């Protein structure tokens, strides 16, 4: 593998190397890529770095993962693809999007958010941010956290007012949580843009938008984050593949 540029994260250098191998046919369709442990040994990297490289490749559609079997190259590797089928996929939105903080974390009383997080207090922390693809903002997201969760994130530079980064919020939170995120309960509804959404996303008030609510829970079933996002449908498509249970494709 070529030596990375000083400013290039190691996981991105590894992801680029693996894309090159896939493009060269070293890992054709159906052939398993090396394991995280094997790649960590080969390139002298931590398994966490290798795992992050795999997440980037899953996010851009270069590979897919089968639990218990391994990681495999897609037949059409290299074509843009965004699938959201797991917590890891949501974390990996940073692979090709950019987060900009509109409103930094602040402590407040919010009965509705506290109720949805199933807290025994009405005090929560709130933050607003956009995500952009190719510099075009396509979603405005508001997140609420319980106070113990907010304490691990509120002072970080990535969530300061106006900060721009390639992170996701749950990607920033996850390494600092005592109990990992294990579940995301999601609902999707049609909505219209209010004045705040319209101003931030550059659409007229009343414009049709897609509202996505996500409640993240840890392994004990406790609410970690409530996120409500408003997506511009002209810049965002949500796709889910449904398969019949108990039947293999023919």
Shared domain check, 113 and 70 = no
* 2 within some domain: no
CA distance 8 to 202: 32
Together in a domain, 119 and 54 = no
Residue with tokens 């290039």: 8
- Which pLDDT belongs to residue 86? 53
- In this prediction, residue 85 carries a pLDDT of 53
Residue 32: inside a domain: yes
Q: Which pLDDT score, from 0 to 100, does residue 175 have? A: 85
The 3 state secondary structure assigned to the chain is CCCCCCCCCHHHHHHHHHHHHHHCCCCCCCCECCCHHHHHHHHCCCHHHHHHHHHHHHHCCCEEEECCCEEEECCCCCCCCCCCCCHHHHHHHHHCCEEEEEEEEEEEECHHHHHHCCCCCCEEEEEEEEEEECCEEEEEEEEEECHHHHCCCCCCHHHCCCCEECCCHHHHHHHHCCCCEEEEEEEEEEEECCHHHHHHHCCCCCCEEEEEEEEEEECCCCEEEEEEEEECCCCCCCCCCCCCCCCCCC
- Would you write out the chain's pLDDT as a tens digit for each of its 250 residues? 554 444 578 998 998 899 888 877 888 777 789 999 999 999 999 999 999 898 888 877 788 877 777 888 875 554 433 445 555 555 555 556 789 999 999 999 999 999 999 999 999 999 999 998 778 888 999 999 999 999 999 889 999 999 999 888 888 888 888 888 888 888 999 999 999 999 999 999 999 999 999 999 998 999 999 999 999 888 776 666 676 766 554 4
The CATH number for 221's domain is 3.40.1410.10
Instruction: Answer whether 0.75 is exceeded by the pTM.
Output: no
Q: Are residues 221 and 121 in the same domain?
A: yes
The label of the residue with tokens 């900060």 reads: 163
What CATH number is associated with residue 59? 1.10.10.10
- The boundaries of the domain holding residue 19 are 10-81
Phi, psi dihedrals of residue 74, rounded to the nearest 5°: -75, 150
Residue 208 sits in the same domain as residue 144: yes
pLDDT value at residue 191: 95
Q: Is 109 in the same domain as 193?
A: yes
Cα–Cα distance for residue pair 87/95, rounded to 1 Å: 14
What is the total count of domains within the chain?
2
């Amino acid at each position: 593998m070529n030596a990375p540029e000083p400013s290039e994260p190691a996981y991105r250098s590894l992801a680029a190397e693996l894309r090159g191998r896939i493009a060269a046919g070293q890992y054709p369709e159906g052939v398993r890529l090396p394991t995280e442990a094997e790649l960590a040994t080969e390139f002298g990297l931590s398994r966490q770095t290798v795992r992050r490289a795999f997440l980037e490749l899953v996010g851009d559609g270069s590979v897919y993962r089968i639990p218990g079997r391994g990681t495999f190259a897609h037949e059409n590797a290299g074509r843009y693809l965004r699938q959201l089928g797991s917590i890891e996929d949501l974390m990996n939105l940073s692979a090709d999007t950019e987060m900009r903080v509109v409103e930094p974390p602040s402590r407040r009383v919010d009965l509705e958010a506290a109720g949805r997080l199933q807290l025994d207090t009405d005090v929560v922390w709130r933050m607003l941010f956009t995500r952009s693809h190719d510099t075009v903002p396509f979603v405005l997201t508001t997140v609420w956290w319980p106070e113990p969760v907010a304490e691990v994130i509120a002072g970080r530079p990535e969530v300061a007012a106006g900060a721009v980064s390639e992170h996701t919020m749950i990607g920033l939170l996850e390494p600092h949580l005592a109990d990992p995120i294990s579940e995301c309960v999601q609902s999707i509804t049609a909505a219209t843009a209010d004045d705040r959404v319209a101003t931030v996303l550059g659409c007229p008030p009343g414009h049709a938008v897609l509202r996505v609510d996500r409640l993240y829970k840890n392994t004990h079933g406790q609410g970690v984050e409530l996120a409500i996002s408003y997506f511009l449908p002209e810049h965002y498509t949500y796709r889910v593949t449904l398969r019949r249970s108990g039947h293999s494709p023919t």
